[in-house]
Every structure is written in structure tokens, then in C-alpha cells.
Amino acid sequence: MAEPSSYGWTDHHCHLPSIDEGRELVAEAGRAGVSRFVTVGTSLEASRRAVEVAHALEGVWATAGVHPHDASEGIDGIEALLDDPWVVAVGECGLDYHYMHSSIDDQRRVFADQIALASARGLPVVIHTREAWDDTFDVLDAEGVPERLVFHCFTGGPDEARRCLDLDAHLSFSGIVTFPSAPELRDAARLCPDDRILVETDSPYLAPVPHRGRPNRPALVAVVGEAVARERGTDPAEFARITSENASSLYGFDVAAATVT
């Protein structure tokens, strides 16, 4: 895998479905100025697929982890995937009390197990939290906050943002930031420091305005990034540089040379 030389957007959280479909999505995104991608694991099977895609496609890395929806399956097999040099984080993992596809006990246990894995390996943690802020912070307090972590698809307001930033976490903003119903999220995007902010698509979910109602795709991280840049009064090209450098710092990949450090 070789890194594209141009400096563009990074979609640090997407779900590329397969090598063939991923190749098409990455090519389209490249035409939209997106150069780097992290395809994210949500189960053992999905994590294995993410690793395969990362090996096959330029500018793509992977994570390995178990989403709270799949917490009842446990984390057997995930640790072995962390040996792969293209796996740059543990996750996505965390707590989701909206759908409750797994019990609270299973979610908390599997979240804690993945924090321990990440800490032992010196890897960042990609956190998913929905309607579970207090318990998410409780688990982090109990297990110890990893040196590097990101709250992906951040959906809180300024108060939650400050609690995350107090942990030295990164905040990642998705297409939700463009929704008319999300003014507090835009407030959080404005207060986040330059060195702690990221943008993502979470594709194929959460397409930004004006693309709602259709499958999301990595090319649209540019739409998300430009929307956040407008909120912050930042030039979009400069914001692409800032967020790409933050992704490099978080995940330990070199944005210019595609080497894992």
C-alpha cells in the first residue's frame, strides 16, 4: 500500500464493505480530494474484512474491535488482528443504550476489555457512545484512560465536549453536524481546539445535508469538513490539513509516506 502524495481530507472513520466496492469508493473520494481512510471494524468478521481491504487499497488503514451492538459475542480473535501493521486502533467500542442489542453488563465488560487491549498495545481507542455518557466516563475512569482516544461521531453538546477534552480525547464530527436539528453539536465543533478535532463520514451511514436519504460515502467527508470549517471560520483547505495531521497524530501513520510508526 502506498500513500497518495497529495494533501487532502482524511476520512478516519468509514466502513468500506469489500475490496471491490471499496476500490470504487476510494477512487471517487480521491476525485473529491480525500486521500486517507480508516475502515473500521465492528465485530470479528467485520474487523477481518477491514484488514483485508486495508491491505488491498492505497491510502487505507483499518481498526479491529467489537461494537456495543455485538458485545454479547465477546472479543475472541480481536487481539490477534492487532498484530497486523495496518491495524492502527482498537474499536469501534463503547456503549449504546439506544438499541440495546447487547446487555449493559456485556457492553461494559467488552468495552473494558478493549480498553485494556489498547492500553497494553499502546494503541488508540475509537469510542462509540450513544445515550450512555455517564457510564462511558465511568468505564474509562475505572479502566484508565488510554493515552490516545477519539469519540467518533460525536453527538454531544458543549458540556459533553468539555468532559471529553478534559481526558485529552479527540472529537470527531460526522454529517450530523449539518443537520438543522443539531445546534448544540455545532457549538461543540466551534469550541474544540485545533489539535483535537477530526471529521468523518461513518459511511454508509449519516450522509450530510444535502445528501440525506442516500447511502453515505467517503467522498462526502469533504462536505462534512467544509461545513465544520465554516462554523469555525477556517479556510477549508487549512482545515483539511489540520484534521489530516490530527488523524496522523492519533493513529500513528505518516500522512506523507504511508508508514506506520
Q: Each residue of 145-170: pLDDT tens digit? A: 999 999 999 999 999 999 999 999 99
Q: How far apart are CA 157 and CA 184, in angstroms?
A: 5
- 137: Cα within 13 Å, side-chain hemisphere: 13
Higher pLDDT, 210 or 261: 210
Q: Give start and end residues of each alpha helix (H) in the chain.
A: 19-31, 44-56, 78-81, 104-121, 133-143, 158-166, 183-191, 221-232, 236-251
- Non-local (6+) Cβ contacts of 238 within 8 A are 229
The answer, yes or no, to whether residue 4 has pLDDT greater than 90, is no
The answer, yes or no, to whether residue 218 has pLDDT greater than 90, is yes
Residues 218, 76, 168: CA angle, nearest 5 degrees: 55
- Are 33 and 222 in contact by the 8 Å Cβ rule? The answer is yes
pLDDT digits 0-9 by tens, 67-121: 999 999 999 999 999 999 999 999 999 999 999 999 999 999 999 999 999 999 9
- Look-up: residue for cell 450513544? 130
Q: How far apart are CA 124 and CA 136, in angstroms?
A: 16
CATH (one of 3.40.50.2000, 3.20.20.140, 3.30.70.1230, 1.20.1050.10) for 9-251 = 3.20.20.140
pLDDT value of residue 253: 85
Q: pTM score, two decimals?
A: 0.94
pLDDT value of residue 202: 98
Looking at every residue in the chain, the average pLDDT score rounds to 94
Higher pLDDT, 163 or 7: 163
Q: Which three cell numbers stand for residue 190?
A: 466551534
Query: Band of the pLDDT at 248, cuts 50, 70, 90?
Result: very high
